[in-house]
Structure 1
Amino acid sequence: MSREGQRTNAEKPRTNAGEPRTRLVGTAHDRGVATLTLDSPANRNALSAPLVAELADALTACGKDPAVRAVVLTHTGGTFSAGADLKAPPGPYAFVDLLRQVVELPKPVVGVVDGHARAGGLGLLGACDVVLASEDSDFALTEVRIGVAPAVISLTLLPRLEPRAAARYYLTGERFGTAEALAMGLVTAPLADRERILDGLRQGSPQGLREAKRLVTAKVLDTFEREAEELVQLSASLFASAEAREGMTAFLERRDPMWRL
């Protein structure tokens, strides 16, 4: 996938040693649309603590910039996001805050998938207002296969997904394609519609877009108010369990977990 925009050395954050490091989230602007690109392909754009923090900062900047009418969230490499980084995961509250930030951003957020999306990556897509996917993209909620459940990401997914489809893919962890994602409400439209949708957003007034988004996200935000704390606690207890330790170890060691029949 081609990157949108170029980054200079001056734009690169510095490590404690003073050496520049590559950003995990690229930024570019084009006629009122800011594009934020998850750019950690070596670990399939896994949601590490640094990536989540950098994405949150980029979204804050977009929210404050009067020149930004809408935000596109996309990726480098063949994976939008593989879900939580098991080696350097964000805290559950940090991830909840990120999901809520996307939902509450006073500007439309368009998720773009051209490849794979897994687990927590689907939660991030669920927070977006519009999701576009290429014909050969695929998705999976794989949490049950490592001994946990899609707890925190239910905040953005369950209010949007068709219930029977949610039950199937939550419980089986099986992979599904763009056609199924469209039918269940995870994906809005094919990637081919990208320019038409962005042109439509460019025609909206800032106030109109802000208030229209407020209407369509109200039920999702209600879910945050009612259930966020409970789901954070559930997630923490599951990840601390013996089954999850076995599941994550098996995943990292590329072997079957002990419960696999």
Structure 2
Amino acid sequence: MTLVAVTEERGITTLALNSPATRNALSAALVTELSDALTACGKDPAVRAVVLGHTGGTFSAGADLKAPPSPYAFVDLLRQVVELPKPVVGHVTGHVRAGGLGLLGACDIVLAGETADFALTEVRIGVAPAVISLTLLPKLEPRAAARHYLTGERFGVPEAVAMGLVTDGDQALPGILDALRAASPQGLREAKRLVTARVLETFERDAEDLVQRSATLFASPEAREGMTAFLERRDPAWRL
């Protein structure tokens, strides 16, 4: 089974994360397949824009703890979304956790159905949202970012819109796609360069530090306990 389902309609290519059995966890294989699909979209002059969606009830549960990508591969994927010379529209109708929020942060526009919900759950397994800060912190309202980085609480679409993670409800999707179809390829490419410039500055400045920080955290005893507890469906040792 392909891990990224590809469909096309009138210049819009939809890439749907397609591993519902793992809640679309970001495995090394899924990251590679998504990167390859994005590369193909970037080179195809018939593609005006890309929709990044999902099958099943979860957009992404975050990193696959059993078969994770390297931090560098995930950074490369995030940067690829940001640098793609076509607009990328995230479309979420289910749950988004941890690294999945980083993917949404890399998208140019994010639309969410009313049943979508979100959580930055890294602190609950002994790590932190290090690498995904590259795409999230330049876009999120600082007080909201602090709350959700520190608590791991679940939040819904209205709060996601207010904090800058989500652009609008998914009822806006048809109109946005028609607007992108009406825009010139050159205009879209150059407009995207303007709105992503500051995010790319963050990659240049912080990517290596955040990759090293993430690797150190994941190798720590606390993280091993947190991930083991998660996989065993029990509370970690530090739970009060």
Q: Where on the TM-score scale, by shorter chain, does this alignment land: which range?
A: over 0.9
Matching residue of 1:19: none
User: Runs of 4+ in structure 1 displaced over 4 angstroms?
Assistant: none
Q: Deviations over 1:230-249 (max 9, x none)?
A: 00000000000000000000
C-alpha distance in structure 2 between counterparts of 1:238 and 1:188, whole Å = 31
Show the 5 A alignment for 1:1-261: 22-261=1-240
What SS does structure 2 have at the residue aligned with 1:187?
Answer: coil
What SS does structure 2 have at the residue aligned with 1:110?
Answer: strand
C-alpha distance in structure 1 between counterparts of 2:223 and 2:180, whole Å = 42
Residue type at the aligned position of 1:116? H
Q: TM-score, structure 2 length as denominator?
A: 1.00
Identity of aligned residues (%): 80
C-alpha distance in structure 2 between counterparts of 1:251 and 1:135, whole Å = 27
CA positional deviation for 1:127: 0.2
What SS does structure 2 have at the residue aligned with 1:37?
Answer: strand
C-alpha distance in structure 2 between counterparts of 1:187 and 1:208, whole Å = 23
C-alpha distance in structure 2 between counterparts of 1:233 and 1:105, whole Å = 25
C-alpha distance in structure 2 between counterparts of 1:120 and 1:231, whole Å = 14
Residue type at the aligned position of 2:17? L
C-alpha distance in structure 1 between counterparts of 2:60 and 2:214, whole Å = 19
- Which has the greater radius of gyration? 1
What SS does structure 1 have at the residue aligned with 2:2?
Answer: coil
CA positional deviation for 1:216: 0.2
Residue type at the aligned position of 2:66? K
C-alpha distance in structure 2 between counterparts of 1:200 and 1:219, whole Å = 24
CA positional deviation for 1:135: 1.1
Residue type at the aligned position of 1:146? I
* CA RMSD, Structure 1 to Structure 2 (Å): 0.3
Residue type at the aligned position of 1:258? A
What SS does structure 1 have at the residue aligned with 2:6?
Answer: strand
Q: Deviations over 1:129-166 (max 9, x none)?
A: 00000112100000000000000000000000000000
C-alpha distance in structure 1 between counterparts of 2:113 and 2:50, whole Å = 18
CA positional deviation for 1:197: 0.5
Structure 1: which 5+ residue stretches go unaligned? Answer: 1-21
Matching residue of 1:14: none
What SS does structure 2 have at the residue aligned with 1:35?
Answer: strand
Matching residue of 1:16: none
CA positional deviation for 1:226: 0.1
Residue type at the aligned position of 1:216? V
Tell me the matched-pair count: 240
C-alpha distance in structure 1 between counterparts of 2:152 and 2:50, whole Å = 30
